A and B are shown apart, each in its own frame.
Chain A
Amino acid sequence: MFGLTAKNTRLLFLVIFLVAFAPFLMNPFPADSAMAQFNAGYPDLMQRFVIFGIFAIGFNILFGLTGYLSFGHAAFLGVGSYAGVWMFKLLGMNVIPAIAASVLVAGLLSVVIGYICLRRSGIYFSILTLAFAQMMFALAASVLTPITGGETGLTLSLSDPRILGAAAVDGNIPVPSFFGLEMRSTYELAVGGWSFSFNTGYYFCAIIMVLAFYASIRIFQSPFGLMLRAIKTNQTRLNYTGLNSRPYTLAAFVISGMYAGLAGGLMVAMDPLAGAERMFWTASGEVVIMTILGGAGTMIGPVLGAGAIKYMENIVSKINKAVLEQWFAFMPDGMEKAFVTVFDMFTGKGWHLTLGVVFMLVIIFLPGGLVEGGQRIKGLFSRKKAQDTPSDAAKTPAE
């Protein structure tokens, strides 16, 4: 369906199902139960899931297919954010021009950076992209303060022109909207002890993510995608087969840069401020980790990786000492203290340690990422099934 193979269509529907019902799936625990802090179904976090999902899907088109590891993709996200906020300042609070500008500006920047960095491959390419991203960060944080707001970030103000919309509504700065539909508006549904929030901004991002995911599947199964995979496995043969790898890698780089710009645009559409820290190299590293954790080169991996990391960042980091003490209150005094001290290293501010351990375990035991984990579980079940019902070939005696 939609020009996809049966398997990829199933994958697309899986993603549609997950994002459509995320408000339920992410909130499995009643709001007043002790487990409620593991609920991730609040608008802010769900928006981040899908936005970083887009970022990782785009990154995967470059890294997963061509094998070129960019360490500067946050630069495109940041530039997209700035472009989006400027559209809010100049034109008005409709999100469409803002997002269009984000994608366009990030695309143009990635043409320039890609053209220069793709002259080298391997580690040299990574270092070049890292250098570029850090240059962009330094520019945004200091030199270009009039455009970027420097270290405080770029925010909206009442004195912005907003030539296509109202500069102020009731004396306040207007909020981003999609033709009047406010991104922040949320419908709360309370069922028994549960409470589910349906946020306009989340669904707006979710629809765009599904479209972005669909486009990425199309790229994966296209001749263009085949060439990108060929570049990853043997660039020498590709060149001696009459194909010019440079435009292919550049196109992949620009496409993934535009995905990053789209993610940046959506970030400011949800919360209209942009800061230079979004372009810092750790932000670039984060998308690399997301992609590898989920499974580089697989279609759904980056989405899973982005979800896993954002979940840990927001949920594990909220488990502080007080919560731990509550958990281990049933234990004898000394033991409780010991447990709290150990677990405290991995939770709260120490959530990076948990992320590190999970990342290492995945890389060592599941080199293909979370997707490989899923495949192995599936494999276990299908092997069991095959044993239960022996095939016809096994029944017929050997000659």
Chain B
Amino acid sequence: MAILEIKNVGKRFGGLQALGDVNLSVAENTVHAIIGPNGAGKSTLLNCLVGKLIPDTGSVTFQGQSLLGRKPHEINQMGVSRVFQTPEIFADLTVMENIMIPCFAHRDGSFKMNAFAAVRGQGDIKDQAEAILDDVNMLEKRDMHAASLSRGDKRRLEMAMCLVQEPKLLLLDEPTAGMARADTNNTIDLLKEIKEKRDITMAIIEHDMHVVFSMAERITVLAQGTPLVEDTPDNIKGHPKVREAYLGEAQV
């Protein structure tokens, strides 16, 4: 069953057709990778899913509900979390505070005027936050400033912040961009572990084919704003159209 359905989505920036007639459906509980060369429209597509951009044409539905016209926080509250290309965390706050914020968002909704309750008094939030920090092996760093974490840890923290909300769909925008090979492998292991433990659907935008082929169950190749092929990893590997789009190879 499809959890996310993208139909005939088009987006134009001035004279540039960033997306033209994209049709894509992501099945529940799968890892679906979206790949494509630079400028293929991957990030634009992602921004159309999370409420940052509104497509000019077409529809986006999540579990049968339209996402168009909803604000980012509303879409998140429906169960869609996003990991950014460069980790977006609360740099001035501690690791623990970073994790507690999504816990509050998950429990209290998008706004709650609890100005006289103490953060310390929220035992359930604290337990929840510590549990997820333990899951990503960051419990001993709980009192560190998020800004002073290493890049890999920032990424783990951001993922933990998304996961603690128990999203149904996790969108990952180049989760291993700029990482060393060892860190990349750690991230892959982390994501696989997450996938095993929870009922979660992942949509990954990625450049690194190593990541894509070690995780994805389904791959869509985007080129110049339109889906080129959609297939299983094995079939994608040798696909002539993909080789052409990526390497500019002439078809033999």
CB within 8 Å: A-B pair count: 109
Within 8 A of B (CB), among A283-339: none
- Interface size band for B: 35 or more
Name the one of A222, A232, A242 contacting B106, with C-beta atoms under 8 angstroms: A242
Our pick among B88, B102, B104, B110 for the contact of A234 (Cβ within 8 Å) is B88
Q: Does B95 contact A (CB under 8 A)?
A: no
User: Does B114 contact A237, Cβ atoms closer than 8 Å?
Assistant: no
Complex Cα gap A255–B116 (Å): 13
How long is the Cα–Cα vector from A239 to B119 in the complex, in angstroms?
20
Q: Given A241-B102, A241-B105, A242-B73, A222 and B165 touching (CB < 8 A)?
A: no
User: Is there a chain B Cβ closer than 8 Å to A233's Cβ?
Assistant: yes
Interface residue count for A (Cβ, 8 Å)? 30
Pairwise interchain contact A224-B165, C-beta atoms closer than 8 A? no
B250 within 8 A of A: no
| Interface check A227, CB cutoff 8 A | yes
Check A281 for interface membership: any CB of B closer than 8 A. Answer: no
> C-beta contact mask, B105-139 vs A, less than 8 Å → 1, else 0?
11011111111111111100000000000000000
Asked whether A239 lies within 8 Å of B104 as measured between CB atoms, the reply is: no
Shortest beta-carbon distance from B124 to chain A in Å: 12
The A interface, classified by DSSP as helix, strand, loop or mixed, is helix
Inter-chain CA distance A232–B105, complex, in Å, is 17
Q: Does B144 reach chain A (CB closer than 8 Å)?
A: no
**Contact present for B93 and A242 (CB under 8 Å):** no
> Judging by beta carbons under 8 Å apart, are B92 and A240 in contact?
no
Contact in complex: B116, A237 (CB < 8 Å): no
Complex contact B50–A240 (CB within 8 A): yes
* Cross-chain contact B119 with A237 (CB below 8 angstroms): no
Contacts of B141 in A (CB 8 A): none
- Please determine whether B115 and A225 come into contact, CB atoms closer than 8 angstroms: yes
Assess the B90–A243 pair: CB atoms within 8 A. no
Task: Say yes or no: is A282 at the interface (Cβ < 8 Å to chain B).
Answer: no
Q: Is the CB of A234 within 8 A of B91?
A: yes
What is the chain B residue whose CB lies nearest that of A238? B101
* Interface residue stretch chosen among A68-76, A145-153, A244-252: A244-252
Task: Assess whether B11 is interfacial by the CB under 8 Å rule.
Answer: no
CA distance A233 to B165 in the complex (A): 20
A243 with B89: in contact, given A223-B119, A223-B122, A226-B100 (CB under 8 Å)? no
| Stretch among B17-25, B74-82, B194-202 lining the A interface | B74-82
Give the residues in chain B near A234, CB-CB below 8 Å. 88-91
Could you give, for residues 197-238 of chain A, a 1 whenever the CB lies within 8 Å of some chain B CB and a 0 otherwise? 000000000000000000000110111111101101110111
Partner of A248, one of B77, B89, B111: B111
**A225 to B120 Cα, complex, angstroms:** 12
The distance in angstroms between the C-alpha atoms of A67 and B215, with both chains bound, is 41
* Pairwise interchain contact A244-B110, C-beta atoms closer than 8 A: yes
CB of B101 within 8 A of CB of A247, answer no
Asked if B206 is an interface residue, CB under 8 A from chain A, the answer is no
Instruction: Decide yes or no whether A185 CB sits under 8 A from chain B.
Output: no
Chain B residues closer than 8 Å to A221, beta-carbon distance:
118-120
Could you pull out 9 A-B pairs where Cβ atoms are within 8 angstroms? Answer: A218-B115, A229-B97, A232-B92, A236-B88, A237-B88, A239-B71, A240-B82, A243-B73, A243-B110
- Given A223-B100, A233-B92, A241-B105; 9 other pairs, CB 8 A cutoff: A218-B115, A223-B104, A223-B108, A224-B112, A227-B101, A237-B88, A241-B161, A242-B110, A244-B73
Top 10 closest pairs, chain A to chain B, by CB: A242-B76, A233-B92, A224-B115, A242-B105, A237-B88, A244-B110, A247-B111, A239-B72, A242-B77, A233-B90
